[in-house]
């Protein structure tokens, strides 16, 4: 059986890998929250302008669904 030896170089490399992995996860989470906030803001503005309309209905299983229609921008 081969022994696994953790020397200082391997330990530092592992620490850097884990640090970058955590940093990447935080950056992905942060970008996701920014995109969600921007999407909500744009939906509210489109609704205010009358471009976004919606209606709700029940599907064949009785679950309430929402049908969203977005009109194109008039040039």
pLDDT at res. 12: 85
DSSP the chain: -PPP---HHHHHHHHHHHHHHHHHHHHHHHHHHHHHHHHHHHHHHHHHHT-EEEEEEE-TTS-EEEEEEEPPPP-
pLDDT band at residue 1, thresholds of 50, 70 and 90? low
pLDDT at res. 74: 75
pLDDT for 30 beyond 90: yes
* Structural domain count of the chain: 1
- For the chain, the residue count is 75
**Per residue in 58-71, pLDDT tens?**
999 999 999 999 98
Q: Does the residue 3 lie in any domain?
A: no
pLDDT at res. 75: 64
Would you say 54 and 70 are in contact if contact means Cβ atoms under 8 Å apart?
no
CA 56/CA 64 separation, integer angstroms = 7
Domain that holds residue 16: 8-70
Q: Does the residue 75 lie in any domain?
A: no
């Amino acid at each position: 059986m081969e022994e696994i030896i953790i020397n200082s170089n391997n330990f530092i490399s592992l620490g850097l890998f884990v640090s970058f992995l955590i940093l990447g996860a935080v950056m992905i989470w942060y970008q996701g929250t920014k995109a969600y906030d921007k999407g909500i803001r744009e939906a509210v503005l489109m609704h205010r302008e009358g471009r976004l309309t919606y209606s709700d209905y029940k599907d064949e299983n009785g679950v309430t669904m929402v049908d969203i229609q977005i009109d194109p921008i008039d040039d």
